[in-house]
Amino acid sequence: MEAVRTFVHGAATWGVAVPRRPLRAAGVAMAGFRVRDLDTLRMVAHPAVTLLLEFGGGAPVLDYTGGRQGGSLATGPGFGAGGAVWARGENVECVQVRLSPLVARAVLGVSPAELDGVAAPLGDLWGGQAPLILERLSEVPSWEERFALLDTLLARRCAAGSRVDPEVAWAWRRITGGRGLARVDGLAAEVGWSRKRLWSRFRAQIGLPPKRAARLVRFDHAAHRLVAGDSAAGVAAELGYADQSHLHREVMGFAGTTPAAVAQETFLAVDHLAWPT
């Protein structure tokens, strides 16, 4: 039986599926969506690389400052900052994959830095393999089979692809493990590199400079605490913002809206079903 749950938020009604078995590739998460009417959904910046594989009858379209892109695509960490990216479409069926920046280069074949502020068509990254994968996704009859197909593909690409520097991976894990509160100025000394070298390698391999990466990770935690119903004052104190005004500025900068409004964003409200971990 298909493990599809119905997500209702305001006027939005979506079908949401998640894998029932653990995925083989570390740093990879995925969810399936079936949406009859995707009505101007604001995308909220997230500290992962996003891979969207669309195989249904109606392709979603992203409108953003850099242009418009439809169909299957990939975006870098923090895509949608400022609240300037909107998705829409009808009869959308897709698998959304969230990739840790540590494995994104291996999976996609390009550094996340090359996806900064853009939505890259999947065909530009995977060439002729892209339409074959999408065709197979449309042919298999269940979400679980789609997840298994992609799990095999992504695990194989992770194993064969390029790795980030161990020092960069360590710095990223320090940032994410500390919910964005790690003192990034001390990271270079901790790995035994110069600040210039770490900043350059981190930006090139992760897609963001360390300080912005830390701000994005902290914002992501703050936004989800707000969605969970925590007060802005409590979130600001818990996550080390100077005060509530500081939190307000960061939320506006990353989401293009206020803390009260971001708590109602459909893009975030679905996370408890789509990304339960």
263 phi and psi angles, rounded to 5 deg: -65, -15
Question: What is the model's pLDDT at position 207?
Answer: 96
pLDDT of residue 2: 60
pTM, two decimals, is 0.95
21-33 pLDDT per residue, tens: 999 989 999 999 9
Place 1 in a pLDDT band, splitting at 50, 70 and 90: very low
CA atoms within 13 A on the CB side of 146: 26
CB of 10 closer than 8 Å to CB of 38: no
- Is the pLDDT confidence value at 59 over 80? no
Closest CA relative to residue 59, chosen from 72, 75, 42, 44: 72
Phi, psi (degrees; rounded to nearest 5) at 153: -65, -50
Helix (H) or strand (E) holding 98: strand 86-99
Residue 261's pLDDT band, with cuts at 50, 70 and 90, is: very high
Q: Tell me the per-residue pLDDT of 149-199, one tens digit each, with 9 for 90 and over.
A: 999 999 999 999 999 999 999 999 999 999 999 888 899 999 999 999 999
Q: Phi and psi dihedrals of 92, rounded to 5?
A: -85, 130
Please give the span between the terminal C-alpha atoms of the chain, in angstroms, as a whole number: 22
pLDDT band at 243 (very low <50, low <70, confident <90, very high): very high
| Torsional sign, CA 78, 82, 84, 87 | positive
* Tokens representing residue 46 in the block: 């997230």
Residue 12: name the closest of 101, 87, 109 by CA: 87
- pLDDT of 103 > 60? The answer is yes
What does pLDDT average to over the chain? 94
Nearest to 76, CA basis, from 44, 109, 119: 119
DSSP 151-198: HHHHHHHHHHSPPPPHHHHHHHHHHHHTTT-S-GGGHHHHHT--HHHH
Please report which confidence band the pLDDT of residue 217 belongs to, taking 50, 70 and 90 as the band edges. very high
Does the pLDDT of residue 211 top 90, yes or no?
yes
Supply the pLDDT for residue 240. 95
Residue 74, beta-bridge partner list: 51, 120
Please report the domains of the chain, with CATH numbers, ordered by start residue: 4-162 (2.60.120.10), 166-267 (1.10.10.60)
Q: Which of the listed ranges 62-66, 82-86, 185-189, 241-245 does the model predict with the highest average pLDDT?
A: 241-245
